[in-house]
Chains A and B, each alone.
Chain A
Amino acid sequence: MKNREQYIESLKNLKTQVYYFGKRIDNIIEHPSFKPHINSAALTYELANMPEYEELLTATSHLTGKKINRFTHIHQSTEDLVKKVKALRLLGQKTGACFQRCVGWDALNATYTVTYEMDQKYGTDYHKRFLEYLKFVQENDLMIAGSMTDPKGDRSLRPSQQADPDLYVHIVEKNDKGIVVRGAKAHQTGIINSHEMIVMPTIAMGEEDKDYAVVFAIPVDTEGVIHIFGRQTNDSRRFEEGEIDKGNYKYGIVGGEALTIFNDVFVPWERVFMCGEFDYAGLLVERFASYHRQNYGGCKTGVSDVIIGSAVAIAEYNGVAKASHVRDKIVEMVHLAETLYCGSIACSAEGFPTPSGAYFVNPLLANTVKQNVTRYIYEICRLCHDIAGGIIATLPSEADLKNEEIGPYIEKYLKGVADVSTEDRIRILRLIENMTGGTALVESMHGAGSPQAQRIMILRQANLNQKKKLAEDLAGIKKEH
């Protein structure tokens, strides 16, 4: 297993092509825009090496019997699935942000289960190839980006119907050594500080989309791969002096996402895990999406723990902690967060083995959790804004606070209760501003799929006929069932 320093050191060996603000960035590790995201991912390595956290953050490889970082583990039981959720909550609490490694973890598990089933049907050897890849990942404790979302162009059209065929990643050439792919993946969490990426289709495919039904793994610095790092709310504050205005200055917000371009990228056969088996694209999406939706009642509950904590703190700093409506709002925030957690624990406890032996979550419950996340996090943040007051939208800068001439005015007039410093009050307010608005909120809506994607899955899994029959039976409606 790598530790924090080894992880950061290992990124230096990569020649990842990253662009940001119109410039090529050669040293991502020291760049202020990327540092918080690297810190956050590094915590998955650091905590795994600490005895306090090893039960959640490490596992025993079912392939080699060795101790591995849990983020590279294939779930072998419902207990593993439950531990996944707990590990994510823990890391959400410690970072208050996204620590990025769950996407690749879900890609590993989804690909593991689906390659097994594909081989059973087609006699292919994708699973065998994948096992070799998995051993390599576990052995080297690699961070994997999970690359599913294509840019998608006109959403009403299939991949093969798009005006520009590259709007979904597709195979442009096959030869005896491998395949060549072209296209792009959008919103790639943590990709610029990952080692590898697993590329998967983003929707179910028909025969006409055969060339788009492709799964493969490559290093993020493969020739022809370009990453264009996305902007975030208030990102230019990272270029400023000081730490207060950055809010969560150590770990940032969400995962640091990029648009990743594949300019005719070569992938050797041993790294190809689906190549034209269009009838398995839908299953892969369903597996990945359900594993990924499971996570959100873990990590977002952890992040909510921090938001709730900041609401408790600011209520105290403002002198309203004992007000009954404030206490009630905090109870509501806790209730919402724990409801999310319940869903993630439930979909894990109700998990079951796939034919490969790897465990899968209950997809109905996993989709239900994520659907709730698209609402409850907004409500948690709304309540936090309510408690914090309008000052989160109008606070002067850290530079003004530190200014000799006007700083004393800020000290004097932005003080809350007498025994808390103005700076501490401002720090909490900036943390709230950072964690509860803009980019941070959107992740809860669209990360792991937009609400409608969950509703489609919920409808598919809901067994409405059985529910109708229950009602008809109770109503005394006699039918030949």
Chain B
Amino acid sequence: MNTATKAALDASGAAPLGARAPVLSLNNIDKVFGRDVVALKGMSLDIQAGDFISLLGPSGCGKSTALRLIADLIHPTSGSIRWQVEKTPGALSVVFQEPSLMPWATVADNVWLPFRLQGKTRTSVKDDIAEALELVGLENFHNAYPRELSGGMKMRVSIARALVTHPRIILMDEPFAALDEITRFKLNNDLLELKSKIGCTVVFVTHSVFESVFLSDRIVVMAARPGRVIRELHVNEPYPRSEEFRTSSEYVAHCRAASDALRDAMEEHA
């Protein structure tokens, strides 16, 4: 049984590798705030379909800035961001550190938001809403208000809202940083499961070495002042990753490598 599972893991891990296609690339991006706050310097990154990329680095190294650039909320000082696929409305979605739900709207109406902004009525997308809520395990909470939910559940709604348009790429800025560890582990597992089901690309910002190793296949380690990429690590472990992966020796080895890289990043500007 063990070997069978292992084989299955390998197979599913290999599938996305074959289907790799570029989604988006950042070419030598600089971003300067004001006159002299260099938030990013010479950042390049190729994002492939199906990637789970973590941006890992100390506070102030420009992780959020990179996400905001990709989301087109701010524009690079120099360098370019190129979409390799067609950028339709809803092709990109964002999850923030806070759930950022509309407190006056029910869970279902919150998830409806991306479609609503495209001018779609609720009835026309009610199946998509139901599907997204089912994916995050909140199928019984359509009519609840955000205040009635726990922190973890609110975050799930936020994720459902991001998933509902079937985006090509999801940007997540420390989405679980404010949650307790048990909830965070659970959501980590669920996030991987979700990703394998819908096969999207994720760019995930985190402060946590453990989270980045558990979730991603690529870890981009960044340093601050000026914000830049100093190393890219590959976590060539197959998906789906189960809870056992957290205690495996491979996991520990990857964590050590990521910690070392992070220490280098911290020391470089110290």
Asked if A pairs with B, the answer is no
